[in-house]
Structure 1
């Protein structure tokens, strides 16, 4: 009798064990839907009054979800940063928010939080519909306090708004100051509807940041890529996070920390990152033009070694890296023949070395067949260094979506 009972219990336990994997629900992953690289100071704009003020900052999603969370940052602050209130909602244009979508943000259940110097924080999850390609308005109220060093993403190609006092729940601002930077805002994540959802991080300098693209139009090449991914059923589960910084360098401190120094916080720490597209190095090359830096030396091998380091570090985390060639810049203010030789050598290495998991030839996609050292006229913004909207679209269109397998 005892034997039969023992056998019965064993069979029952085995049946429960066999059923558990199929009945256990798999939680949807958190994936970044929007992000920007934060850095210290604002080299392109005068920093406005930020205390006793509400910052309403507009961000553009790339992947939809029904639950969101917000990342705030004081990574470059030297004092604690106090946030007394914060909200998120769907933008209704300019400084307005659709009141029906407005939700309070909390941090561990509290409406306020103090962010230590050098730190970032993540809000509690908020249940709200955040469609792909929606403009969201994140509003934060900063009470009176000492803010000596701001953490910012300058040159957002996006209008953001500041109003004196606490107005996080206002449907619109009465008399806002318009600013062109994102302050203390690092990212927005969604709890994706697909368990296969993942993020593509685009990592680079001003070309990745969308310099000289149409303001408030989301016409950076990463924006165009996000649309292509969403329109393709095989890649519709992917978001795109733009981690470009205008004036950034791979190996030296130009604007913000160099690419090697910021790679952990701008790429490896992103929610759900699976792929990285790297396009950077033209500002390292451009420094060869500066006569007040006679000791500055750079070779193609220096840049190649730096880029290979990014690949090695990404691979440690199971992230695939696609290398993108540097676009032509003849006619730009810091063009030199030596610099051009380095650019061509680096591009050849990107395309042929086998270091990357895949390659993207932005140089070929945007170059002028009659003058390969320059942008094609229909793609040139006019400064011979940055594309205009059509050039950014051509860059995105040149990417083989089969890379994202």
Structure 2
């Protein structure tokens, strides 16, 4: 049994329960293989076609559409290669859904792995407290009708639909047993959520907290959850870096700006409701690979293949500016144009978010500030995006526009406080979604 170094975390209480338990139709497991996820050059047209063919069956373009429902992403985590080792133990992760629906499916990813990964006895339930699951909610997850699945290196696999209805805003607990040690793990480094790790043994089917003796703040293998939702519902994917990933929040707080936006849209009528999912990676850059593949390389996997996606929010580029030596906004602008072209080719709406202030952060310089201002001017005036979210205007200090308002500053002058992230969510014009 292997485990990552334990990290101090806190627990969160959830009182949501599953709804009706009518059976959902089972479909074969589906493999996906986006080359861009491996940090290679942008996926070729052939690989693009293969990924489209490998979507869950109810999401393929060739299928007969279901009149009343559609498959929609309700939670997402952008993956990278993790420095960790797991094996001979159970992993129990918590993911908060954006919208509810029937026939939930989960996707397990091994896109950064060098060898196949065997996973057994996957279960999904609703969190009661910490690693404890609400009685009667922990359900087995199958893949092509089987209780075990082997995910090939460089691939991802969708589960069969899980019978019953899962509510929106639920803390879904996904448990899985890893029989053998895995050293090249595909996952998400900064989950800002507690993951529970057992000692040796298979505890996936148990609803008890017994046996879960370690914790981490990473997600492993799980990178997507989708539900069959009303046909009017679609997903909005927030694509970005640490400002979207949630740096600055307390573990298990669920106070990313996308979480606050989810709270806002939850109050809309059913006809206008959307599923807000997060595709941020802390440290990520738009143009060059740094933490995770570059934004250009991961855009296809993390955004364009999301089930039910209709709208994309691009809020990335501050790491390129704050760590680069650009003398012109042209490289960043050209990167935005490429993302816009790729999204428009799939008839998606793209919203551009202006880059927020970072005066006082260790890498700020007047030259970099000038590039930020020129990039923001282009976002606001070029009309290249289908709409603009002026995050800069929402959180900048009116007296010193180069810096954040003090109450919105987490303390490092780049990342935002809970109040700052909430302000971003309330700066979004919901009609643009």
Question: TM (normalized to structure 1)?
Answer: 0.88
Residue 321 (structure 2) aligns with: 285
How far apart are 1:172 and its partner, in Å? 2.5
How far apart are 1:25 and its partner, in Å? 6.3
The SS at the match of 1:40 is strand
Tell whether 2:297 aligns with 1:261: yes
The SS at the match of 2:78 is coil
The SS at the match of 2:174 is strand
Structure 2 residue aligned with 1:181, among 209, 218, 223? 218
The SS at the match of 1:347 is helix
How far apart are 1:176 and its partner, in Å? 2.3
Q: Give the 5 Å matches for 1:228-239.
A: 228-233=264-269, 236-239=272-275
Asked if the contact 2:130/2:209 (under 8 Å) is kept, the reply is no
How far apart are 1:67 and its partner, in Å? 2.0
Residue 140 (structure 2) aligns with: 104
Structure 2 residue aligned with 1:363, among 389, 392, 400? 392
CA distance in 1, matches of 2:173, 2:183: 26
Structure 1 residue aligned with 2:227, among 179, 183, 190? 190
1:319/1:332 CA distance change after superposition, 3 Å: same
1:83/1:234 CA distance change after superposition, 3 Å: closer
Asked if the contact 2:245/2:278 (under 8 Å) is kept, the reply is yes
Tell whether 2:207 aligns with 1:171: yes
Asked if the contact 1:167/1:173 (under 8 Å) is kept, the reply is no
CA distance in 2, matches of 1:233, 1:25: 21
Structure 1 residue aligned with 2:166, among 130, 136, 141? 130
Q: Give the 5 Å matches for 1:326-405.
A: 326-404=355-433
Asked if the contact 1:62/1:239 (under 8 Å) is kept, the reply is yes
Deviates more, 1:355-364 or 1:90-99: 90-99
Structure 2 residue aligned with 1:161, among 187, 190, 196? 196
Asked if the contact 2:232/2:272 (under 8 Å) is kept, the reply is no
How far apart are 1:179 and its partner, in Å? 0.5
Asked if the contact 2:241/2:315 (under 8 Å) is kept, the reply is yes
1:151/1:298 CA distance change after superposition, 3 Å: farther
How far apart are 1:237 and its partner, in Å? 2.7
Residue 30 (structure 1) aligns with: 71
The RMSD of aligned alpha carbons is: 1.4
CA distance in 1, matches of 2:319, 2:204: 39
Deviates more, 1:256-265 or 1:128-137: 128-137
Question: TM (normalized to structure 2)?
Answer: 0.83
- The superposition leaves residues 163-190 of structure 1 with CA deviations (integer Å, 9 ceiling, x where unpaired) of 0211001113324211101010101101
CA distance in 1, matches of 2:420, 2:100: 27
Residue 186 (structure 2) aligns with: 151
How far apart are 1:383 and its partner, in Å? 0.5
CA distance in 2, matches of 1:95, 1:299: 50
Asked if the contact 1:79/1:148 (under 8 Å) is kept, the reply is no
Tell whether 2:342 aligns with 1:306: no
How far apart are 1:29 and its partner, in Å? 0.6
- Any stretches of 5+ residues in structure 2 without a counterpart? 1-64
The SS at the match of 1:83 is strand
Residue 12 (structure 2) aligns with: none
- Any stretches of 5+ residues in structure 1 without a counterpart? 1-23, 289-295
How far apart are 1:130 and its partner, in Å? 1.3
Deviates more, 1:236-245 or 1:74-83: 236-245
Tell whether 2:92 aligns with 1:56: yes
1:25/1:222 CA distance change after superposition, 3 Å: closer
How far apart are 1:129 and its partner, in Å? 2.5
Residue 65 (structure 1) aligns with: 101
How far apart are 1:253 and its partner, in Å? 1.1
How far apart are 1:298 and its partner, in Å? 5.5
Count of residues in correspondence between the two structures = 367
